[in-house]
Structure 1
Amino acid sequence: MNDILSPSPSESDLAFESALRPTSLAEFIGQDNVAKQLGLLLKAASLQNRAPDHILLAGPPGLGKTTLAMIVASEIGAGLRITSGPTIQHAGDLAAILSSLSSGEVLFIDEIHRMARPAEELLYLAMEDFRVDVMVGKGVGASSISLDLEPFTLVGATTRSGMLPNPLRDRFGYTANLEFYGREDLATVLTRAAKQLSLVAHREAIELIASRSRGTPRVANRLLRRVRDFALVEGANEISEAVAQMALELYEVDSLG
C-alpha cells in the first residue's frame, strides 16, 4: 500500500491530529449517530451524578476513536489517563493504573484487544464492581487482597472487536461501531483543517482530496498536508483543483485512492 494512504498513524500524523483535534461532541464531524448516542449517555450520567457507563469504540484505524475518548473526558470535565493494550502485559500493570485513578477519571485503553489475558480478567471485576483482587507474596505464602477503586469510566478502542472475549465485551455499557466517512463529511473535515492551518483551498480542491481519502479522516488530513507542501514549493498562494490534482498525481494517488 502507498504509505500516504495508510490509515495507521505516523509521528507527524499524531502531531497534526493533536493540533486540529476537536474538543467537544458539537465540534466532532461525522459519525452522527454515535455522537448523538454518546451525548445522551453522558448527559444521563451527569443528571444522575455518576460516572458514565464504560464505552467501547470499535472500527478501522483513523476514524476518530482516540478523539472521541478525549472528548468524553472533556465533556464530563474529568481527567484522562491513556494507555494501550500491548503495554499491559501483567495483571499488576493494570492494577497499578486502576488503583491510581481519581474519582470520575476516564481511562482510555487503545488496542484493548491486545491486552494480556491475566490483565483482561482482572479488568472484569474492576469494570463491574470498581474493585480488584491482587496477589501479595509468592508461592505457598501468597494471599489475595481486595482493593476498592474510585468510580471511573473505561473507554476501550479496538480495530478488531471480534478478538474481544464475550465477558469483556459484555461489561461495556455502550458500544459504538465507527464507519468510514462519506465524501461530504470528509470535505467538512478538510475545510475545518484548512481553516485552522490558514490555507486558502478551493471547494473543488477539497472535494478532490476527499474523494481520494479512502473514507478516512486521517488519510484526508495527510493528503491535505502533502498538497499544502506542493503548493508552497510551487509558489501557489491558493490550493486550486489543478494544484491539488498535480500534487496527488505526484504522490501517485489516483481516482481510486
Structure 2
Amino acid sequence: MKIALIGYGRMGKEIEGIARDRGHDIALIIDQNNQADLTVDNLKNVDVVIEFTNPDSAYRNYMICFEAGVPVVSGTTGWLDQLDEVKSLCEKGKAFFYASNFSLGVNLFFELNKKLAQLMSGFDQYNVDMEEIHHIHKLDSPSGTALTLAEGVLENHPVKNSWVEGLSTKDSEMSIVAKRHGAVPGTHSITWHSEVDEIQIQHQAYSRKGFALGAVLAAEFMPGKSGFFGMKDLLKL
C-alpha cells in the first residue's frame, strides 16, 4: 500500500517506521518545509493519507486529500468545530477516519470509562474529575483524548452536563486539570471521590509506538471504503 504522511514530527516518524516494517511504501512526506508539495497531482497515486499536524492546517489538508479522492486517517485534534462539514462530505462519498487517540489500550479505556460512569450514575455522593498529563510540545489543552473521556462521562451521568479546564465548584461541571511536563507521551486519570473513598481508573502510555501502530492499522482498514470511521469500527467495539 502507498501511504502519504502529512506531518513528519515525532509521530510521523514513528508511523513511518511501523508502516515500512509492515511492508508499506511511504510515497509522499509533507512537513513544514515542503507544504507546497501537498497537491492533488502528488496524491493521485497514493492509497491512503495519514495526517498528524495541527488544528490550523488540518481542515485544509483534508480538503486537498478529498479533492484527490484519497482516504484520510487523521489524529490531529483541536479542529472539531468543523467536524460536521467533514462528516457531510463523507456522506457524499469521501472517506475519513478520525481518532483523538489511536492507542488500542486507550480505546478500550474509553469503553471502561463509559461503563464506570453508568455504574456511578446512581450514587450522587461521588464527584468525578480528570487529570491529563502530556509532553510540553502538546499543542491543544485539554487533549483530544481528555475530551473524549469527558464526553463518555457526560453522556452517561445525570448530573454532569459540561466540562471545564481547571477546578470547578459546580456540581454540573466536570473538572479537567491539564498538565504539560517533559516528554510524557500521555497519562489520563479519571477519579470518582466521596468523603470516605475514591475510585480511580488510569491509562498511561509508555511510548508513541502504540499510537503509531493504531494509525497504521486504521490506514490498512480504509482502502475501498467511503464514510466516516473511528476506532470503534476498526476494533469492532
Is this a same-fold pair by TM over 0.5?
A: no
Larger Rg: 1
Greater share of helix = 1
Greater share of strand = 2
Could you state the TM-score of these two structures normalised by the residue count of structure 2?
Answer: 0.29
Could you state the TM-score of these two structures normalised by the residue count of structure 1?
Answer: 0.27
